[in-house]
Amino acid sequence: MSDKKTIAVVGATGAQGGGLVRAILADPSGGFRARAITRDVNSDKAKELAKLGAEVVAADIDDEASLARALAGAHGAYFVTFFWAHFSPDKEKAEIRSMARAAKAAGTKHVIWSTLEDTRQWVPLSDNRMPTLMGEYKVPHFDAKGESNKVFTEMGVPTTFMNTSFYWDNFIYFGMGPKKGPDGTLAITLPMGDKKLPGIAAEDIGKCAYGIFKKGAEYIGKTVGIAGEHPTGAQMAAAMTNALGKEVRYNAVTPEAFRGFGFPGAEDLGNMFQFKADFEEMFCGARSLAVSRALNPELMTFAQWLAKYKDRIPLE
């Protein structure tokens, strides 16, 4: 047995965790081994990770005992929750508490918690610029994560708080790709006006996390924001036009209009984009491109992401 340190990764068959497992496995002399956590060790994705060299273990973040077993003997752990699987900030908060407790019990030496801002620190519930959702949130899928950061601190779990950014992969998998308007021209629709939207290739999130685990102690207790670029909607449309060889326009709508689109999560996302636009300087400033690139020298720009993935973008 080598003296490699094991990193246990929640969401290993998904976007964030998958990027981290692959980053660890791609660097065999890096001093780390990957333990992929999944609910189904027999799924195709789990088997693929095992084939690549990951240790694959079963656990569910809704089952604290299973998590504690999955963390046993690991040096580090990567924690992420799955808001869009259930749309419940309360469930997310309970899962975060379970993960923190399991890490505390297992004596995990370094946790990276994939979090986001509690927007209510900037937009209190009394601020009527955007509606309050589910009784106590402005951006439920942000607020529940940010509110829960303190759980790790209070339990004394050595944690890095990693604020992620909008995945450009949302243009492929999240229904946000360019759509044809009445005149047949493609357009991306965002309520961002002329403001910058920090974005990242989903696979780069795991690579940045790997950079944090490699740095180790200096990142414990710290908050780090990551992004690959801070393009405006117009700049993203121009880059898509260039990459796809077809005109893609930027359809800037108001946050009110976006909230009214009616798909599940539209109000949450409308508030989220409004928050990013209204607090552009703070939000971009909290996601340094230089820091992200230092953690992950392969960090992609939007044009580089397009060059790699443009053929997967559904053009409706």
Contacts with ligand NAP, residue ranges (CB under 6 A):
10-11, 13-17, 38-40, 43, 46, 60-62, 80-85, 141, 164, 166-167, 170, 174
Q: How far is the CB of 1 from ligand NAP (least distance, A)?
A: 27
**Nearest CB to ligand NAP, comparing residues 168 and 219:** 168
Task: Say which residues have a Cβ less than 8 Å from residue 130's Cβ, sequence separation at least 6.
Answer: 123, 138, 255, 270, 271, 274, 275
CA distance 150 to 152: 5
**Nearest CB to ligand NAP, comparing residues 13 and 251:** 13
Q: How far is the CB of 74 from ligand NAP (least distance, A)?
A: 15
Q: How far is the CB of 176 from ligand NAP (least distance, A)?
A: 9
**Nearest CB to ligand NAP, comparing residues 181 and 266:** 266
**Nearest CB to ligand NAP, comparing residues 6 and 38:** 38
**Nearest CB to ligand NAP, comparing residues 167 and 275:** 167
Q: How far is the CB of 60 from ligand NAP (least distance, A)?
A: 4
What token pair was written down for 162?
A: 């990693």
Q: How far is the CB of 186 from ligand NAP (least distance, A)?
A: 21
**Full DSSP string of 166-193:** EETTHHHHSS-S-EE-TTS-EEEEES-T
Q: Exposed, middle or buried by CB within 10 Å (0-12, 13-18, 19+), for 101?
A: middle
Q: Is the dihedral angle over the CA atoms 94, 174, 305, 196 positive or is it negative?
A: negative
26 in Cβ contact with 53 (< 8 Å): no
**Nearest CB to ligand NAP, comparing residues 29 and 63:** 63
CA distance 277 to 61: 33
CA distance 305 to 316: 20
**Nearest CB to ligand NAP, comparing residues 204 and 280:** 204
Q: How far is the CB of 262 from ligand NAP (least distance, A)?
A: 19
Residue pointed to by tokens 């604020």:
163
**Full DSSP string of 106-133:** HT-SEEEEEE---GGGTS-TT-TTS--B
What token pair was written down for 195?
A: 């403001």
Minimal CB distance residue for ligand NAP? 14
**Nearest CB to ligand NAP, comparing residues 10 and 34:** 10
Amino acid at 280: E
CA distance 255 to 267: 9
Q: How far is the CB of 156 from ligand NAP (least distance, A)?
A: 24
Q: How far is the CB of 281 from ligand NAP (least distance, A)?
A: 20
Nearest to 143 by CA among 126, 125, 128, 156: 125
